[in-house]
């Protein structure tokens, strides 16, 4: 069977520029999607301009990371200080793409799915962080996409392929988790997410927090979670199945608690003030999806003993 045999660092280097470009596009989405006017939310045909003076940005100033370095972090027209978030998001885009080849088998469905998920989380993390906003225009299509990702295995069930992993050793793997080249860190060739698990993740992700919120509302007379958080859980459930979705929910809640306790103790956070839960869900997703099965079996192991 056809496979690549490049050093992983070389693949990472080849793919990183695409990530930087996607990071640049993420900046456009992060800035424009929360805007009020529908015309301002146009991210497809409207060209880039300085958010401060509206001057169009020259193409060579728009080159990810390098444009910012060239301009020393200031708008060429008005001298507006470009927030550090812009180069940071571009850098993160590059790092996500570079890391993807270490984590998931290149060219596989799960690799593509992981990239889509990571890119969406990058955008949502920053819209939630800066504006407390998780745009529907991203989250609803992601719900559908998550379910669609489970369909190929219905048409070609139980496909396995054999790949050479060196020293005449062969490895049989699920077709939907296998790509053109093995990734050094992906050893958990688990079952692909089924359409049932995906749909259940979608429904429970949306419905579960609705119930929790209703209880919270009875006690505290206020919304505990925003609707955007439910939708985020719903599409993460559609992507990774119902069990990881629950893991992401608890992981996110754990991170939120760990982060807000010191703030509550030092009285920097009042009881009613809000922290962006979506940010914590985004942070919890990677460890749960990648290490979830290992963490779970370790946890169950300690429970039995």
Burial 96-121 (b: 16+ CB within 10 A, else e): bbbbbbebbbbebbbbebbbebbbbb
- Find where tokens 């193409």 sit: 59
Closer residue to Zn ion in complex, CB, 50/148: 50
DSSP H helical ranges for the chain: 8-32, 66-70, 85-103, 109-131, 136-148, 152-155, 195-220, 227-240, 242-265, 277-304
| Nearest of 69, 125, 140, 61 to residue 93 by alpha carbon | 125
Please, which residues bridge with residue 174 across strands? Answer: 160
Closer residue to Zn ion in complex, CB, 77/91: 77
Closer residue to Zn ion in complex, CB, 52/273: 52
- Out of 42, 52, 160, 162, which residue is the one contacting Zn ion (CB under 5 A)? 52
Could you tell me the smallest distance in angstroms from the CB atom of residue 59 to Zn ion? 16
The footprint of Zn ion on residues 78-107 (CB under 5 A) is 78, 80
How many CB atoms are closer than 10 A to CB 13?
Answer: 13
CB 106 within 8 A of CB 179: yes
How many residues line the site for Zn ion (CB under 5 A)?
Answer: 7
Give every CB contact of residue 127 below 8 A, 6+ residues apart in sequence: 29, 30, 33, 34, 133, 134, 135
Closer residue to Zn ion in complex, CB, 78/165: 78
| Nearest of 261, 269, 276, 268 to residue 225 by alpha carbon | 276
Could you tell me the smallest distance in angstroms from the CB atom of residue 148 to Zn ion? 41
Could you tell me the smallest distance in angstroms from the CB atom of residue 27 to Zn ion? 15
Closer residue to Zn ion in complex, CB, 74/220: 74
Closer residue to Zn ion in complex, CB, 75/238: 75
H or E segment to which residue 173 belongs: strand 170-174
Could you tell me the smallest distance in angstroms from the CB atom of residue 114 to Zn ion? 36
Closer residue to Zn ion in complex, CB, 71/269: 71
Stretch that binds Zn ion, among 36-44, 45-53, 113-121, 216-224 (CB under 5 A): 45-53
Looking at residue 104, the DSSP 8-state letter turns out to be S
Q: Is 77 in the site for Zn ion (CB under 5 A)?
A: yes
Q: Is 116 in the site for Zn ion (CB under 5 A)?
A: no
Could you tell me the smallest distance in angstroms from the CB atom of residue 32 to Zn ion? 16
Q: Is 50 in the site for Zn ion (CB under 5 A)?
A: yes
Q: Is 180 in the site for Zn ion (CB under 5 A)?
A: no
Give every CB contact of residue 168 below 8 A, 6+ residues apart in sequence: none
Q: Is 296 in the site for Zn ion (CB under 5 A)?
A: no
Stretch that binds Zn ion, among 9-17, 71-79, 96-104, 140-148 (CB under 5 A): 71-79
- Out of 53, 151, 165, 294, which residue is the one contacting Zn ion (CB under 5 A)? 53
- Out of 15, 20, 75, 204, which residue is the one contacting Zn ion (CB under 5 A)? 75
Q: Give the interface with Zn ion as residue ranges (CB under 5 A).
A: 50, 52-53, 75, 77-78, 80
């Amino acid at each position: 069977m056809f496979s690549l045999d490049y050093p992983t660092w070389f693949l990472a280097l080849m793919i990183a520029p695409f990530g930087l470009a996607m990071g640049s596009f993420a900046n456009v989405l992060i800035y424009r999607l929360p805007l009020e006017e529908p015309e301002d939310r146009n991210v497809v045909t409207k060209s880039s301009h300085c958010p401060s003076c509206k001057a169009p940005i020259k193409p060579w100033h728009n080159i990810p990371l390098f444009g910012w370095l060239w301009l020393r972090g200031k708008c060429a027209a008005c001298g507006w200080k470009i927030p550090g978030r812009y180069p940071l998001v571009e850098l993160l885009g590059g790092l996500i793409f570079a890391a993807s080849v270490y984590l998931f088998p290149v060219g596989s469905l799960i690799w593509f799915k992981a990239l889509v998920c990571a890119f969406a989380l990058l955008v949502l993390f920053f819209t939630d962080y800066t504006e407390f906003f998780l745009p529907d225009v991203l989250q609803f299509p992601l719900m559908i996409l998550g379910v669609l990702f489970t369909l190929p295995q219905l048409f070609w069930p139980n496909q396995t392929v054999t790949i050479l992993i060196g020293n005449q050793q062969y490895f049989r793997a699920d077709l939907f988790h296998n790509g053109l080249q093995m990734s050094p860190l992906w050893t958990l060739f688990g079952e692909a997410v089924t359409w049932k698990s995906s749909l259940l993740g979608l429904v429970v992700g949306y419905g579960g927090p609705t119930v929790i919120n209703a209880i919270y509302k009875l006690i505290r007379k206020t919304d505990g979670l925003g609707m955007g958080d439910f939708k985020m859980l719903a599409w993460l459930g559609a992507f990774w199945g119902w069990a990881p979705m629950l893991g992401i929910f608890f992981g996110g809640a754990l991170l939120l608690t760990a982060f807000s306790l010191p703030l509550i103790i030092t009285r920097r956070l009042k009881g009613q003030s809000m922290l962006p839960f979506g940010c914590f869900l985004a942070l919890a997703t990677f460890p749960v999806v990648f290490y979830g099965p290992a963490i779970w079996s370790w946890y169950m192991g300690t429970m039995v003993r």
